[in-house]
Structure 1
Amino acid sequence: MASPLLVLTDFSPAADHALTYANALAEKLDTSIVLLHVRRTSLLDPDLLTGRIAHLSEGEVATALAERTNHLSVPAIVEVTTDLVPQAITEATERLHPSLLIVGKPDTEYTPDELVTTTSLELIHAASCPMLVVPVTSAVASPPAHITLAVDGKGFALSAESANIPHLLHELGAPLTVVHIATPEETESAQLSLDSVQRSGLTMELEQPQTQVVRHSDLAEGIQEAVLLTQADLLVLVARRHSLLGELFHHSVTAQVIRHSIVPVLVLPSED
């Protein structure tokens, strides 16, 4: 059996939707789920005084976890930890080596970008493994029927934690389109991006991907346009480590896309 899918839950509608999506993926990939709940009791937690943390007893937590796992169609175990969320995720990913970390994202479409501080954005810094962000507004969960990989033509190398992604994409069995995202002034063709993707090994277990070019003055909006043009129901982004760790990450193209995507987004950390 493949490495498990690690699913973070706070029992919110977004987390429940992500768990349903994870169950469909786990069925397709013939793997299991680890459902992780972080009891946020630390006095250092920045959300402690904001009312955003639901204070549940141990019994209430156990009941809520059982209610969710009882409806799953794949093997699942639950874990509960008391820590800050980033630290809990770091520890869990290092110990479990999951194929994916899966996180739900609430509907923030009408919230100004500068006010959006969702768990998914915060965890990209902490999680070393590939992370799948599932918007609560995305379609009813099912394995993807068409995958779009948006890249900029620059070379990249998959991180060690992403080494299983080529096989995962193969197991999903969905056609993949490599979309070259460029500004209107650029003249490069989609072949440039396809070459960089093939050199990375990301598509080595797939049939020849389709290619497309999308030109837009705003790269994040160009990626959203690519999703619509290709009718994708899963978007894959490559996030370079210096971007993930940089202080300006929240202003990056990756962060903008995650905030506004209408389909699940798989973020693959890569080496610079």
Structure 2
Amino acid sequence: MPAPLLVLTDFTPAADAALRYAAALAAVLHVPLVLLHVNRNSVFDPETFTGKIPHRSEGEIAVALNERVQNMPVPVIPALTAGRSTRAIREVVEQHRPALLILGRPSVAELPDELVSTTSLDLLAELQYPLLIVPAGTAPQVPQRIALAADGNPFQLAAPARAVPEVLGTLRAAVTVVHVAEPEDDDSCRPSLVSVQQAGLLTDGQNPVSTHGTRHLDVPRGIEQAMQATRAELLVLIARRHNVLGRLFHRSVTAQMIRQAQLPVLVLPTTG
């Protein structure tokens, strides 16, 4: 069976939006979905901040899962586990080996955005799987234009992320490699394009590829400008674990894009 997409749900509107978006992707990719609920609290552990844990019986959870798998355009495997979120999720991930983990991002009114980025980064650090964060209200449509931000430094995808080139190739979306430079620096995208190609992130000939350089003192704002200029519908970020030279993707910039981007953000872990 092809690698599924694993969607995390806490039965909130944001999680439901992520599920619909995932279903649209899965239909094009011809893969099933795994819909996972962690029976302890919501995926975002709100009790850390409020002390409130939403309690549901197993019957209520079964009903909620069943409601969400009905009338899906692809097969959906419901999954339920219990315990600390990242530990419990790891067990299901190791069982299904998904191509992507998909997570809904609530609005700021529903949840502090710092918690969203903390949870996302914790999942990336502990599981090393590519993570797609879908903002609440995102329409369930397959992206036709993708912005792939890269800083020009070499990188190697973590093993679980090596299925992503095939995913991007199957989508056949137009990809723009984006580079943000200091105002006084050269905004040439050639090194960024080379680093992406050498990492094998874009399969030959399957995606139309272009480049877009921009100058800005603030890297996240520069990325946002590039996204607007290229009319991107999905942002891809490279998440480096231990590379102080990769200023574009150090932890705070990645977290800021996860919190602020109005588009779905696909974060790819690397080995260094």
TM-score greater than 0.5 by the shorter chain? yes
CA deviation profile, 1:199-233 (whole Å, cap 9, x unmatched): 11111233451001011111111111111111011
CA deviation profile, 1:128-165 (whole Å, cap 9, x unmatched): 21110001043x11110101101111111111111111
Report the AA paired with residue 236 of structure 1.
V
Residue of structure 2 equivalent to 1:131: 131
Report the AA paired with residue 211 of structure 1.
T
Question: Which segment is superposed worse, 9-18 or 208-217?
Answer: 208-217
1:114-193 counterparts in 2 under 5 A?
119-138=119-138, 140-193=139-192
Sequence identity of aligned pairs in percent? 49
Deviation at residue 2 of structure 1 after TM alignment? 2.1
Query: Structure 1 residues 114 and 142, CA, compared in 2 at 3 Å: closer, same or farther?
Result: closer
Deviation at residue 181 of structure 1 after TM alignment? 1.5
Q: Any gaps of 5 or more consecutive residues in structure 2?
A: 244-248
Deviation at residue 188 of structure 1 after TM alignment? 4.7
Deviation at residue 240 of structure 1 after TM alignment? 1.0
Query: Structure 1 residues 105 and 121, CA, compared in 2 at 3 Å: closer, same or farther?
Result: farther
Residue of structure 1 equivalent to 2:233: 233
SS at match of 2:242: helix
Residue of structure 2 equivalent to 1:36: 36
Give the paired residue count: 263
CA distance, structure 2, for counterparts of residue 128 and residue 186 of structure 1 = 33
Contact 2:117 2:258 in 1 (8 A): no
Report the AA paired with residue 158 of structure 1.
L
CA distance, structure 2, for counterparts of residue 135 and residue 83 of structure 1 = 25
SS at match of 1:142: coil
> Please, what TM-score do these two structures have when normalized by structure 1?
0.89
Residue of structure 2 equivalent to 1:263: 263
Contact 1:159 1:271 in 2 (8 A): yes
Query: Structure 1 residues 147 and 157, CA, compared in 2 at 3 Å: closer, same or farther?
Result: same
Query: Structure 1 residues 196 and 99, CA, compared in 2 at 3 Å: closer, same or farther?
Result: same
Deviation at residue 116 of structure 1 after TM alignment? 5.6
RMSD over aligned CA atoms reads 2.3
Contact 1:133 1:266 in 2 (8 A): yes
Contact 2:236 2:265 in 1 (8 A): yes
Report the AA paired with residue 16 of structure 2.
D
Question: Which segment is superposed worse, 216-225 or 89-98?
Answer: 89-98
Residue of structure 1 equivalent to 2:217: 217
CA distance, structure 2, for counterparts of residue 112 and residue 250 of structure 1 = 21
Q: Any gaps of 5 or more consecutive residues in structure 1?
A: 244-248
CA deviation profile, 1:215-261 (whole Å, cap 9, x unmatched): 11111111111111110111000101227xxxxx9951110000001
Contact 1:7 1:102 in 2 (8 A): yes
Residue of structure 2 equivalent to 1:202: 201
CA distance, structure 1, for counterparts of residue 64 and residue 116 of structure 2 = 27
SS at match of 2:50: coil
Query: Structure 1 residues 265 and 154, CA, compared in 2 at 3 Å: closer, same or farther?
Result: same
CA distance, structure 2, for counterparts of residue 157 and residue 30 of structure 1 = 27
Residue of structure 1 equivalent to 2:54: 54
CA distance, structure 2, for counterparts of residue 116 and residue 90 of structure 1 = 19
Query: Structure 1 residues 56 and 48, CA, compared in 2 at 3 Å: closer, same or farther?
Result: farther
Contact 2:26 2:32 in 1 (8 A): yes
Report the AA paired with residue 37 of structure 2.
H
Deviation at residue 124 of structure 1 after TM alignment? 2.4
